[in-house]
Amino acid sequence: MLRRVLRFVRLPLVMLVLFAIGRFSLGLAKVPYAPRGNAIFSIVVLAIVSSIYFGALSGKVGGFSWSGAILTGVVIGFFAQLLIFSATLATYLGGLDTYFIHWDALNIPEGTTITMSQALGKRAGGLIAGPITTMVAALIGRCLAALAPECHS
């Protein structure tokens, strides 16, 4: 079933990669994080919205049971968090200044910085919490599936 889910969620996975690249690039281009830079390419928001939509479509279009809807959300959430973790690691290893190490993105006090190991420890927590959040979003989408269009072959 994992292979079928991966095939089903190709579009959100590609969009997540594009958003990660965009977010990474904004930091490199020195676009201020606040008030608007941070909102342009929100990986977490995209993952949640994608999970709702693809959770809703998982039955009618994907042909999945409820467990398939759950797996859809988990795959989207884990992939999003893996991108965030990887971008944070690349930022530290490259000595770069991107949004991925901004104090607000790491939920640390304003203006402070932390070591790579501390940041990756925080990001590792997202590898657990992110898929749970998107799983719930996919289940909400599945509950709203009656509003989704039918698949016409």
Q: Residues 123-132, buried b or exposed e (16+ Cβ, 10 A)?
A: beebeeebbe
Task: Summarize pLDDT for 18-72 with one digit per residue, the tens.
Answer: 999 999 999 999 999 988 788 889 999 999 999 999 999 999 999 999 999 999 9
Q: The whole model's pTM is what?
A: 0.94
CA count, 13 A, side-chain hemisphere, 65: 3
Task: Summarize pLDDT for 9-26 with one digit per residue, the tens.
Answer: 999 999 999 999 999 999
Task: Summarize pLDDT for 88-144 with one digit per residue, the tens.
Answer: 999 999 999 999 999 999 999 998 999 999 999 999 999 999 999 999 999 999 999
Could you give the C-alpha distances from 41 to 37, 38, 47, 130, 150, in angstroms and in order? Answer: 8, 7, 11, 17, 30
Q: How far apart, in whole angstroms, are the C-alpha atoms of residue 68 and residue 91?
A: 34
How many C-beta atoms surround the C-beta of residue 40 within 10 A?
A: 12
